[in-house]
Amino acid sequence: MGAVIVLALTGVAAFNTLVYIGLHYTTSINASLMNSSTPIIIYILSFIFLKEHLTKFQLLGTFLSLAGVLFIISGGSLQSLLSFSFNKGDLIVVVAVVCWSVYSLLIKKYAGKLPGYSTFLVTIAFGAIMLLPFAVYEQLTSSQAIVWNASTIVAIIYVGIIASIVAFLSWNTGVVSLGANKAGIYLNFIPLFATIFAVLFLNEQLLLAQVIGGIAVIAGVFISAIK
What is the per-residue pLDDT across 69-126, written as a single tens digit (0 to 9) for each?
778 777 777 777 666 666 889 889 989 999 988 988 888 788 777 777 788 889 999 9
pTM score: 0.77
Using alpha carbons only, give the angle 61, 63, 68 rounded to the nearest 5 degrees: 95
Sign of torsion over alpha carbons 192, 155, 124, 142: positive
Which contiguous run of DSSP H or E holds residue 28? Answer: helix 28-35
Note the pLDDT of residue 217: 80
Percent of the chain with pLDDT over 70: 93
Q: Is 197 exposed, middle or buried (0-12, 13-18, 19+ CB in 10 A)?
A: middle
Give the whole-angstrom CA distance, residue 208 versus residue 71: 10
Note the pLDDT of residue 33: 75
Q: What would the mean pLDDT of 172-189 be, rounded to a whole number?
A: 75
Name every residue whose Cβ is closer than 8 Å to that of residue 106 and which is 6 or more positions away in sequence: 3, 6, 7, 10
The number of CA neighbours under 13 Å toward the Cβ of 55 is: 9
CA gyration radius, the chain: 18
Note the pLDDT of residue 119: 86
Note the pLDDT of residue 4: 92
Note the pLDDT of residue 225: 73
140: left (phi over 0), alpha (psi -120 to 50) or beta: alpha
Mean pLDDT (the chain, rounded): 83
Q: How far is CA 86 from CA 33, 51, 98, 148, in A?
A: 16, 32, 18, 35
CB 104 within 8 A of CB 41: no
What is the per-residue pLDDT across 13-62, written as a single tens digit (0 to 9) for each?
999 899 989 999 988 878 877 777 787 788 788 778 777 777 788 788 87
Note the pLDDT of residue 125: 92
